[in-house]
Amino acid sequence: MKYTFLFMLFAIVGCQQAVAQSFNIAGLIYQVTSANTVDVESPFGQSTGSISIPSQVTNNGTDYAVTGLSINAFYGCTGLLSVTIPNSVTTIKNRAFQNCSGLTSVTIPNSVTNIQSDAFASCTSLQSISIPDSVTNISTGVFASCTSLTSVSLPNTITTIANFTFSGCTSLPTITIPNSVTNLGQSVFANCSSLSSITLPSLLQNVSVKVFLNCTSLRAVTCEQTIPISLFGRNVFQGVDLSVARLYVPAGRLAAYQAQAVWQDFGRIFAGCSNATTPTFAQVAPVCAGLSLSPLPTTSNEAITGIWSPAFNNVATTTYTFTPDAGQCASSTTMTITVNARPSMFSGTFYLNSGTQIQNIPGFGSMYAVYTSLTAPSPLPNSAILSSNTYYATKTENGCESDRMPIVIITLTAPTISSPSCGSSLTNISNTISCTTVPSATNYLFEVTASGNTRNYYSGTNSFNLTQLQGTVDYNTAYSIRVAAGFNGQYTSFGSACSITTPATPVQTKVVASQCGSMLTSKWTSVYCSPVIGATAYRFEWINGSTILTYTSSTTSMQLGNYTGWALNTPYSVRVAIQFGGTWQAYGAACNLTSPATFARHQATDKMALTVKAVPNPFETEYVLMAQVGNQTPVQVAVYDMLGKLVEQFSVESNELENHPLGNGYTSGIYNVMISQGDDQQVVRIIKK
């Protein structure tokens, strides 16, 4: 007896273990529910994309029919897009697809009979669902919060739509309740804010509390019951404006519904009227704010008469409601009329070159129109030429024209290059280029073009030179130059173009005249040459008989002490060449210099030589020059960038040099500062951070 009991116990435990068994095939988990059936589920919400569930699986030689979707089977599979359920499945269990926010398509076979609570709740991408006639039970909240759901087909086999089934389906516009339904559960359609119409079938006997709670778009309810359902105290239509809703009831039952609580609150009740006609009207085009509008038609395209409300608002976009007259089987409709704001238009004084057509005025576009007066019936054509006068301009946006605003036109002769003459060549790349002056102009805009590259220079005067342009200037190149006159930030059109050619080659340089014919006092005495705009390096050549020495400097100076091979107290012929555009140019004129008599570093005559220091260096905003040794004669300062372009130049008393800050407006880079005092010169290299 004891052995028989133990055998039975082991058999029971073994059976339970067999039933609790699960296995994984192709990414899905199958829970064994009987000797030959399983439920399917996803491993921890990992399923993505499209899934087709098989009707049968085999594990360890045993075939299993897939008959159910487990509780929480695909819960939270946000990457799941579509599911095909096989014909073997009979039950979709609780929360099987809840929170599958990416699910857009589900195929439910006609083998399914039972869909349990919250099965598809919060499937926010699901747009349509068709439930087969095999389904006899749809439990609580099955499609709750399916916010994209717009189409639902329910089977004629259900008798109850359970609590909260479609609650929060905010995109659902309408739904057909099957004739088999006798009971609507609590809040079935609560917060279905797009639901606009509903038909309650004839067999319906019970409508629970808050069925249509906050169905704010509900405008038509059709009741097929000859005896009104009692709704008193159930807040069935809470949040619905019944005063603008229509109720359609069976023929001869108007009085019964008008006497019944809640039903009597509908704004209009129609007996024997179903499938009401919705009137249509031609859409009114957008109007401009402040303008009048012809009255809206009171007869629709279907010959339905009625009235519009509210009164026309010519200030703001408004939606108007058409209410059909009593006695017509027609529903109300709406029309939104867009009111566009009228744009604002500026006024002011504008300077134009003589002969300018309206369409060629800078900034002019099709949105603008110009009139000769405040009351002119039509604007001037775009080809019209304006003269010095007062006109009236408007601006049109979204079909709305602004008020006419006065504009004063002043015509003038377009500026052109006056010096040098067009077609000529510059003798020096820094030669001044001037244009004709324009009365009252506050500045001038020079447009310079060469080799497809256009640059602009804004000048406070009617002149400039090519070295003031950003970037390099090429030699032996023709530049096309146009000028526009400026008036406090407003510019006329450009005048005619003028071609001016730069010199064939850069100018040559040589040792400064003040040093020619002299003897250097020491090997550290600086030898200077004249700077050349655009030069990137200077090569000094020292010749005495067959001895030729060269020294290359990045500045306009050098010292004999920086290299070897020269002799004391020896005359040399010194020439200087420049490097321009990576190419060394021809040497300039020679200058005779005599090397120092001794190697002594300091001579008495050098003690008062000019010595200047830049502080701070490098600098961020400003720097000053500090004269450490020198005399009291005036100091000349010229600052060049690394392209040799003059940045600034001034003269100052030596004792005032430190009180003259420099550096404002410099761009980041390296600059050479040439300081001259009498015959003394010094170059200081500074760096702008």
pLDDT at 13: 39
Residue 157 has pLDDT above 80, yes or no: yes
Mean pLDDT of 632-652: 79
Q: How many CB atoms lie within 10 A of CB 120?
A: 25
Domain annotation covers residue 197: yes
Q: Of residues 166 and 687, which shows the higher confidence score?
A: 166
The pair of structure tokens assigned to 261 is 């609580």
Mean pLDDT of 45-59: 92
CB-based contacts of 306, cutoff 8 Å, min separation 6: 279, 298, 300, 322, 323, 324, 325, 328, 330, 332
Residue 501: what residue type? T
Mean pLDDT of 45-53: 90
Measured between alpha carbons, how far is 538 from 540 in angstroms, rounded to an integer? 7
Task: State whether 441 and 523 are in the same domain.
Answer: no
pTM: 0.45
pLDDT at 669: 86
Task: State whether 541 and 436 are in the same domain.
Answer: no
Domain annotation covers residue 401: yes
- The SS3 of residue 520 is coil
Peptide bond between residue 155 and the one before it cis (omega within 30 degrees of 0): no
Q: Of residues 277 and 423, which shows the higher confidence score?
A: 423
Measured between alpha carbons, how far is 273 from 249 in angstroms, rounded to an integer? 7
Task: State whether 367 and 417 are in the same domain.
Answer: no
Please tell me the least confidently modeled range out of 64-73, 422-431, 529-538. 529-538
Measured between alpha carbons, how far is 430 from 466 in angstroms, rounded to an integer? 6
Residue 646 has pLDDT above 90, yes or no: no
Mean pLDDT of 81-102: 96
Question: For the segment 348-373, what is each residue's pLDDT rounded down to a tens digit?
Answer: 899 999 998 999 887 788 899 999 99
Task: State whether 40 and 73 are in the same domain.
Answer: yes
Please tell me the least confidently modeled range out of 124-133, 174-183, 617-626. 617-626
Alpha-carbon dihedral sign for residues 226, 230, 231, 232: positive
Domain annotation covers residue 227: yes
Domain annotation covers residue 684: yes
Assign 161 a pLDDT band (cuts: 50, 70, 90).
Answer: very high
Owner of token pair 């109720």:
247
Q: Which domain holds residue 179?
A: 29-271
Q: Of residues 437 and 562, which shows the higher confidence score?
A: 437
Which domain-ending residue is among 271, 306, 321?
Answer: 271
pLDDT at 20: 52
Task: State whether 522 and 498 are in the same domain.
Answer: no
Mean pLDDT of 230-256: 91
Residue 5 has pLDDT above 70, yes or no: no
Q: What is the mean pLDDT of the chain?
A: 89
Domain annotation covers residue 96: yes
Mean pLDDT of 516-534: 89
pLDDT at 225: 92
Residue 640 has pLDDT above 50, yes or no: yes
Mean pLDDT of 333-355: 92
Question: For the segment 269-312, what is each residue's pLDDT rounded down to a tens digit?
Answer: 888 876 678 899 999 999 999 888 889 999 999 999 999 988 99
What percent of the chain is modeled with pLDDT above 70? 93
CB-based contacts of 2, cutoff 8 Å, min separation 6: none
Q: Of residues 164 and 332, which shows the higher confidence score?
A: 164
Which domain-ending residue is among 437, 468, 502?
Answer: 502
Question: For the segment 569-596, what is each residue's pLDDT rounded down to a tens digit?
Answer: 999 999 999 998 788 999 999 999 999 9
Owner of token pair 């019951």:
225
CA distances to 123, 269, 318 from 569, in Å: 101, 126, 101
Domain annotation covers residue 277: no
Task: State whether 488 and 568 are in the same domain.
Answer: no
Residue 636: give its domain's CATH number. Answer: 2.60.40.3080
Residue 605 has pLDDT above 80, yes or no: no
pLDDT at 551: 93
Domain annotation covers residue 280: no
Measured between alpha carbons, how far is 48 from 100 in angstroms, rounded to an integer? 10
Assign 660 a pLDDT band (cuts: 50, 70, 90).
Answer: confident
The pair of structure tokens assigned to 117 is 């609570």
- The SS3 of residue 17 is helix
Peptide bond between residue 310 and the one before it cis (omega within 30 degrees of 0): yes
CB-based contacts of 546, cutoff 8 Å, min separation 6: none
pLDDT at 474: 86
Task: State whether 296 and 247 are in the same domain.
Answer: no
pLDDT at 271: 85
Residue 587: give its domain's CATH number. Answer: 2.60.40.10
Count up the domains in the chain and report the number: 6
Residue 64 has pLDDT above 80, yes or no: yes
pLDDT at 44: 75
Q: How many CB atoms lie within 10 A of CB 628?
A: 8
Residue 173: give its domain's CATH number. Answer: 3.80.10.10
Which domain-ending residue is among 502, 535, 557?
Answer: 502
Domain annotation covers residue 602: no
CA distances to 284, 288, 308, 658 from 291, in Å: 14, 6, 19, 70
Alpha-carbon dihedral sign for residues 378, 383, 385, 386: positive
Task: State whether 324 and 447 are in the same domain.
Answer: no
Task: State whether 72 and 135 are in the same domain.
Answer: yes
Task: State whether 495 and 526 are in the same domain.
Answer: no
Task: State whether 406 and 465 are in the same domain.
Answer: no
Question: For the segment 165-202, what is each residue's pLDDT rounded down to a tens digit?
Answer: 999 999 999 899 999 999 999 999 999 999 988 999 99
Task: State whether 447 and 333 are in the same domain.
Answer: no
- Beta partners for 550? 541
Mean pLDDT of 459-474: 90
Measured between alpha carbons, how far is 131 from 85 in angstroms, rounded to an integer? 12
The pair of structure tokens assigned to 212 is 């249509």
Mean pLDDT of 88-99: 96
pLDDT at 629: 58
